[in-house]
C-alpha cells in the first residue's frame, strides 16, 4: 500500500468517526424512558487505562460496591440499578465522548465519574447540553458550580483552607509550594498565596513539575536551601512517589522538612512506601481510620469484595457517597428525572463513612468535615485535627474576605 493510499484511508476513517460523533451529539434527549425497563441504568465513567487508572480504578470499585448495596437494600424506585462501566482512558476528549455515549445510547439515569479537573471540564458541556447529571467524587480547586454536576469531594474551603488554618495555628510562617503543572495545583496555590498574605505567612518558593515527572533532586535541593517551615504539596499521581522517595533519601524526614499534602491518601502511601512518608501531614475529609460504625461497615464490605489487603481512601469514599446520595434523592423524588432529583437532593442528609453528609441545594456541593491526618509507619493515617462539624461548601470562597478577587 502506498503512503498516499494509507493517508486516504486514514482520512476517511477520521471523517467517518467525526460524522458518528456529530450524529450522536445531535440526538434529542428527553428524560422519558430512562427508567422504563426492569432495571435503571447508571453510568460509571473513570479511567481504567492510561496514567490516571492508578487512582480511578478503585473509585470505580467503591462505586460498584455502593450500587450493589443499594440494590441489596431494594434498589431505586423498586428497580435494580444496572451499572454501565466505561473507560475514560485518561484522555479528556474520550471522557466527553463516553459521557455522550452513556447518555444517548445507554440512556443512563445518571453518571458517576471523573477524577482530574481536566476530565470534569471536558464532560461538563456534555452534561449541560443534554441536561443530565454527573456526580463528581474528587476534591478539586473550586470556582465552579454547574447545575448539572453534584460535587461530592471537597472544595477548597473544606480542605485547603482548613489545612492552612491548622498550619497557622501551629505557628508555621514560611511556606514552600510544590505542585504538578495543571489547573488544580495552580488554582490551589493562588488561594494559598492570598491566604498567606492576609494571615502573616510568607510563600518563599513555588515550583511546578509536569504531570508524571519523576526527578525531584533539584527541587529537594531548593527546599534544603530555602528551609521553609512547611512544604505545601499539590503534586498529583505518580510524582508523589518519586518526590517522597527522593526527599527521604536526601536525608529529610517529617521533622526536618515537614510537608502537608492534599492528594496523598492511603493508596498513594502504600505506593510510596509508608517508611518514606511517615510523619508527614495530609488534609482530607475521610480516612480509613475515621471512627464510626458506618465506616467500619464500609471498610469491611470493601475488603470482603476486593481483598483483605485493600485500603479505602477519601476519593473512594466520596464516590461511594455519590451513589448513596443519588439513590436517596431519586427515591425521595419518586423519579429519576433530572429536575425532580435535583430538587429532592437539596438538603438530603445521610450518615456516610466520613460522618454526616448533607447536600447543599444551592451549589450542589456537600457539607464535609475537614480532617488533618499524620501518616503512620503502617500506612494508615491518624487524624490529629478536625473541623468539629461539617463545613458548608463555598466553591467561590465568597465568605472569605482575603479571597476577594480570586474568582
Binding site for another protein (CB under 8 A): 48-51, 53-58, 181, 206-210, 212-215, 217-219, 221-222, 225, 238-242, 245-246, 248-251, 267-268, 270-273, 275
Give me the least distance between CB of 68 and another protein, in Å please.
Answer: 20
Write down the least CB distance from residue 242 to another protein, Å.
4
Phi, psi (degrees; rounded to nearest 5) at 230 = -150, 145
Query: What are residue 211's DSSP bridge partners?
Result: none
Residues 47, 48, 51, 54, CA torsion sign: positive
Q: How far is the CB of 273 from another protein (least distance, A)?
A: 4
Tell me the closest approach of the beta carbon of residue 275 to another protein, in angstroms: 7
Residue 162 or residue 379: which is nearer to another protein going by CB?
379
Nearer to another protein, 218 or 389 (CB): 218
Q: How far is the CB of 272 from another protein (least distance, A)?
A: 7
Nearer to another protein, 174 or 386 (CB): 174
Smallest distance from the beta carbon of 203 to another protein, in angstroms? Answer: 12
**281-284 and 134-136: which strand pairing?**
unpaired
Give the residue with the Cβ less far from another protein, 124 or 220.
220
Rank residues 275 and 293 by Cβ distance to another protein and give the closer one.
275
Q: Angle at the Cα of 283 (from 176 to 406), degrees rounded to 5?
A: 60
DSSP 71-134: HHTT-BTTBEEEEEEEE-TT-HHHHHHHHHHHHHTS--S-EEE--SHHHHHHHHHHHHHHT--E
Torsion of CA 98, 47, 259, 302, to 10 degrees: 110
Task: At 271, list the grid cell.
Answer: 505506593
Output 3 or 293, the one with its CB closest to another protein. 3
CB-count exposure of residue 185 (10 Å: 0-12, 13-18, 19+): buried
Amino acid at each position: 500500500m502506498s503512503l498516499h493510499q494509507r493517508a486516504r484511508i486514514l482520512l476517511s476513517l477520521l471523517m467517518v468517526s467525526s460524522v458518528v460523533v456529530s450524529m450522536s451529539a445531535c440526538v434529542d434527549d428527553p428524560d422519558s424512558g430512562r427508567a422504563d425497563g426492569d432495571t435503571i441504568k447508571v453510568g460509571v465513567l473513570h479511567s481504567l487505562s492510561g496514567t490516571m487508572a492508578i487512582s480511578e480504578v478503585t473509585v470505580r470499585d467503591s462505586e460498584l460496591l455502593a450500587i450493589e448495596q443499594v440494590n441489596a437494600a431494594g434498589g431505586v424506585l423498586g428497580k435494580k440499578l444496572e451499572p454501565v462501566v466505561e473507560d475514560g482512558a485518561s484522555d479528556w476528549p474520550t471522557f466527553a465522548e463516553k459521557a455522550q455515549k452513556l447518555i444517548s445510547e445507554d440512556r443512563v439515569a445518571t453518571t458517576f465519574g471523573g477524577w482530574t479537573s481536566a476530565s470534569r471540564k471536558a464532560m461538563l458541556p456534555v452534561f449541560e447540553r443534554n441536561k443530565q447529571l454527573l456526580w463528581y467524587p474528587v476534591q478539586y480547586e473550586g470556582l465552579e458550580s454547574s447545575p448539572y454536576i453534584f460535587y461530592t469531594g471537597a472544595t477548597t474551603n473544606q480542605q485547603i483552607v482548613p489545612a492552612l488554618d491548622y498550619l497557622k495555628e501551629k505557628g508555621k510562617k514560611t511556606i514552600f509550594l510544590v505542585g504538578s503543572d495543571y489547573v488544580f495545583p495552580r488554582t490551589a496555590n493562588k488561594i494559598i498565596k492570598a491566604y498567606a498574605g492576609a494571615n502573616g505567612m510568607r510563600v518563599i518558593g513555588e515550583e511546578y513539575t509536569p504531570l508524571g515527572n519523576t526527578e525531584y533532586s533539584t527541587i529537594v535541593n531548593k527546599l534544603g536551601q530555602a528551609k521553609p517551615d512547611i512544604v505545601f504539596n499539590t503534586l498529583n499521581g505518580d510524582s508523589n512517589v518519586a518526590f517522597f522517595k527522593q526527599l527521604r533519601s536526601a536525608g529529610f524526614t517529617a521533622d526536618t522538612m515537614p510537608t502537608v499534602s492534599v492528594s496523598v491518601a492511603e493508596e498513594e502511601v502504600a505506593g510510596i512506601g509508608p517508611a518514606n512518608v511517615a510523619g508527614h501531614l495530609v488534609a482530607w475529609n475521610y480516612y480509613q481510620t475515621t471512627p464510626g460504625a458506618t465506616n467500619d461497615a464500609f471498610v469491611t464490605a470493601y475488603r470482603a469484595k476486593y481483598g483483605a489487603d485493600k485500603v479505602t481512601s477519601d476519593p473512594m469514599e466520596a464516590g461511594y457517597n455519590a451513589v448513596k446520595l443519588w439513590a436517596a434523592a431519586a427515591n425521595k423524588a419518586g423519579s429519576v428525572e433530572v429536575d425532580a432529583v435535583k430538587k429532592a437532593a437539596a438538603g438530603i442528609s445521610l450518615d456516610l463513612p466520613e460522618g454526616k453528609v448533607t447536600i447543599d441545594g444551592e451549589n450542589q456541593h456537600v457539607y464535609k468535615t475537614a480532617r488533618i491526618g499524620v501518616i503512620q509507619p503502617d500506612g494508615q493515617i491518624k487524624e490529629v485535627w478536625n473541623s468539629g462539624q461539617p463545613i458548608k461548601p463555598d466553591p467561590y470562597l465568597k465568605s472569605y474576605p482575603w479571597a476577594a478577587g480570586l474568582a
